[in-house]
């Protein structure tokens, strides 16, 4: 009975996790985040040789992710279907990977509560998370697998490390931190694990040395530090109940001398504090290091909940179900609310116009349109744009975007801007000043 109850609970949680992360797509068929549109563009460039923004290069630090999406597209899955459904499927994979790891190193009951934690974990446009189809989501899936292999199947660990370095280097660094926390605490199989790490790094290193150098040069200082967590950001993010259960789990791990996850969490927390409070970007970049910390805390949370259930000498199954229901009642409303806070860069009318451009214009052109909509224009219409909202601070594009806003405010009368930048097509409201081809698409008079 206990075994079947756990299986039923697991499948219900997996289904709930998929549903909650699919909610933003119920009435919206397009990517939900700027990063998703950018990955869409890079992947389509690989599969269909469509242009990149501003004639950029096809190589990036996340080439493996783009190649994976391009391969899935080439076997028949449209990109918009991927971005609509795959985040939900990845939530299931992340949950299963964590379940397998926690079940093996602790108990099946703790594993179930860790899955519950991932099920209701809030994603955000600032931190990302399982709600979005981005390389970090692959990382959240592969990190538990990589750590499981480092414990029980070390000979193929290098494959996970190499794959993560190609798909999402920050996730690979997070995994390496976790593995080395284990080495510091347990001091087991040191030579073999160091060898596996070195081999994984060596496989990907020839591809990434020039990219890493260029990446650091090109992105230095682009991140906005205005929003950062205070000293109580974890209770604010998870709520008091979840925070208390995490603390109980931490104390229980300490009591059992299980320090690896705690040391890993402390290491990530130090990186978080260095980034948010001192603007220091070390090892794992950007504010999204928090998601790796949250995944580690999911283990502590599972252990804490499992310890509470173990206090019931009788009716443990009943206590398990009741605690799960209580936790869901407290957390699901917040999770649902978080799914509403996403980007809707385009609507169905925009998509119809963009596809009209793709189907009707067969030469390479440069298009001027609203900088936010421009992010979605290139992957859908297959044409370059004059400017777009960049993913970080970039003075050139900020100036261009100001020109665009002024241009549309004046109903597209600035012919000098169009001529100097060889713009052929405009998408927006130009009144009667230009020749209209279709819905909000205008041809420049030559």
Summarised one tens digit per residue, pLDDT across range 250-296 is: 999 999 989 999 999 999 988 888 877 776 766 665 567 889 999 99
The answer on 212 and 65 residing in a single domain is yes
**Rounded-to-integer distance, Cα 27 and Cα 130, Å:** 19
**Rounded-to-integer distance, Cα 387 and Cα 400, Å:** 6
The answer on 427 and 397 residing in a single domain is yes
Cβ-count burial 64-80 (b if 16+ within 10 Å, e if not): bbbbbbbebbeeeeebe
The answer on 217 and 90 residing in a single domain is yes
Domain count, the chain: 2
The angle that helices 135-152 and 157-167 make with each other, rounded to 10 degrees, is 170
Q: What is the pTM of this model?
A: 0.90
The answer on 103 and 162 residing in a single domain is yes
The answer on 364 and 299 residing in a single domain is no
Instruction: Calculate the dihedral angle through the C-alpha atoms of 395, 398, 399, 405, rounding to the nearest 10 degrees.
Output: 180
Burial (CB count <10 Å: 0-12, 13-18, 19+), residue 305 = buried
Residue 333 lies in a domain: yes
Summarised one tens digit per residue, pLDDT across range 397-409 is: 889 999 999 988 8
Mean of pLDDT over the chain:
88
Taking residues 96-103, what's their average pLDDT?
97
Taking residues 10-35, what's their average pLDDT?
95
Residue 422, pLDDT score: 87
Residue 368 lies in a domain: yes
Q: Provide, rounded to the nearest whole percent, the portion of the chain with pLDDT above 90.
A: 64
Q: Residue 208: is its pLDDT beyond 80?
A: no
Q: How confident is the model at residue 432 (pLDDT cuts 50, 70, 90)?
A: confident
Q: Looking at 30-39, 73-82, 232-241, which range is the least confident one?
A: 232-241
Residue 376 lies in a domain: yes
Domain boundary among 312, 338, 364: 338
The answer on 370 and 326 residing in a single domain is no
The answer on 365 and 330 residing in a single domain is no
The answer on 190 and 267 residing in a single domain is yes
Taking residues 213-238, what's their average pLDDT?
53
Residue 34 lies in a domain: yes
Q: Under a CB-based contact definition with an 8 Å cutoff, are residues 367 and 424 in contact? A: yes
The answer on 358 and 331 residing in a single domain is no
Q: Residue 159: is its pLDDT beyond 50?
A: yes
Residue 343 lies in a domain: no
Q: Residue 232: is its pLDDT beyond 80?
A: no
Residue 25 lies in a domain: yes
The answer on 131 and 259 residing in a single domain is yes
Taking residues 208-212, what's their average pLDDT?
64
Summarised one tens digit per residue, pLDDT across range 364-395 is: 888 999 999 999 999 999 999 999 988 766 78
Summarised one tens digit per residue, pLDDT across range 67-93 is: 999 999 999 999 999 999 999 999 999
The answer on 325 and 386 residing in a single domain is no
Residue 212, pLDDT score: 58
Domain boundary among 304, 338, 372: 338
Domain boundary among 338, 364, 385: 338
**Rounded-to-integer distance, Cα 405 and Cα 420, Å:** 17
> For 280, phi and psi rounded to 5 degrees?
-95, 120
Q: How confident is the model at residue 421 (pLDDT cuts 50, 70, 90)?
A: confident
Taking residues 24-50, what's their average pLDDT?
93
Higher pLDDT, 284 or 354: 354
Q: Residue 225: is its pLDDT beyond 50?
A: no
Q: How confident is the model at residue 221 (pLDDT cuts 50, 70, 90)?
A: very low
C-alpha distances in Å from residue 79, one per residue of 43, 75, 157, 379, 426: 9, 11, 30, 10, 25
The domain containing residue 267 runs over which residues? Answer: 2-338
**Rounded-to-integer distance, Cα 195 and Cα 398, Å:** 46
Residue 413, pLDDT score: 83
Identify the CA nearest to 302 among candidates 137, 108, 15: 108
**Rounded-to-integer distance, Cα 412 and Cα 326, Å:** 57
Residue 231 lies in a domain: yes
Q: Residue 207: is its pLDDT beyond 90?
A: no
The answer on 113 and 60 residing in a single domain is yes
């Amino acid at each position: 009975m206990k075994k079947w109850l756990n299986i039923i609970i697991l499948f219900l949680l997996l289904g709930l996790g998929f549903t909650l992360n699919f909610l933003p797509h119920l009435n919206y068929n397009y990517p939900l985040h700027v990063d998703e549109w950018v990955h869409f563009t890079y992947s389509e460039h690989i599969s269909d040789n469509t242009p990149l923004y501003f004639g950029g290069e096809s190589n990036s630090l996340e080439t493996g992710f783009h190649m994976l999406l391009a391969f899935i597209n080439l076997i028949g899955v449209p990109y918009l279907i991927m971005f609509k459904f795959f985040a939900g499927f990845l939530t299931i994979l992340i949950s299963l990977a964590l379940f397998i790891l926690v079940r093996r190193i602790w108990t099946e009951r703790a594993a179930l509560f860790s899955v519950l934690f991932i099920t209701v974990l809030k994603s955000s446009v600032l931190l990302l998370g399982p709600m979005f189809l981005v390389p970090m989501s692959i990382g959240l899936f592969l990190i538990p697998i990589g750590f499981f292999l480092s414990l029980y199947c070390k000979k193929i660990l290098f494959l996970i490390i190499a794959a993560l370095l190609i798909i999402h280097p920050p996730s690979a660094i997070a995994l390496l931190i976790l593995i080395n926390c284990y080495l510091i605490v347990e001091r087991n199989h040191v030579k073999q694990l160091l060898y596996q790490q070195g081999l994984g790094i060596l496989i990907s290193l020839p591809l990434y040395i020039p990219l890493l150098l260029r990446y650091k040069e090109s992105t230095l200082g682009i991140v906005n530090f205005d929003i950062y967590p205070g000293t109580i950001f974890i209770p604010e993010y998870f709520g008091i109940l979840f925070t208390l259960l995490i603390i109980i789990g931490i104390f229980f791990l300490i009591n059992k001398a299980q320090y690896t996850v705690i040391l890993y969490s402390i290491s990530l927390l130090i990186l978080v504090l260095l980034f948010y409070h001192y603007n220091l970007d070390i090892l794992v970049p950007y504010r999204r290091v928090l998601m790796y910390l949250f995944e580690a805390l999911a283990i502590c949370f599972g252990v804490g909940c499992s310890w509470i259930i173990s206090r019931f000498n009788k009716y443990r199954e009943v206590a398990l179900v009741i605690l799960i229901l209580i936790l869901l009642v407290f957390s699901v409303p917040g999770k649902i609310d978080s799914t509403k806070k996403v980007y809707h860069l385009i609507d169905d009318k925009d998509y119809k116009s963009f596809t009209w451009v793709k189907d009707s214009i067969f030469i390479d052109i440069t298009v001027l349109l609203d900088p936010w909509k421009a992010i979605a224009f290139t992957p859908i219409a297959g044409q370059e744009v004059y400017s777009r909202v960049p993913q970080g601070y970039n003075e050139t594009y900020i100036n261009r975007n100001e020109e665009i806003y002024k241009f549309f405010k004046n109903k597209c009368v600035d012919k000098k801007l169009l001529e100097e930048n060889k713009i052929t097509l405009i998408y927006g409201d130009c009144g009667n000043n230009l020749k209209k081809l279709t819905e909000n698409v205008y041809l420049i008079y030559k």
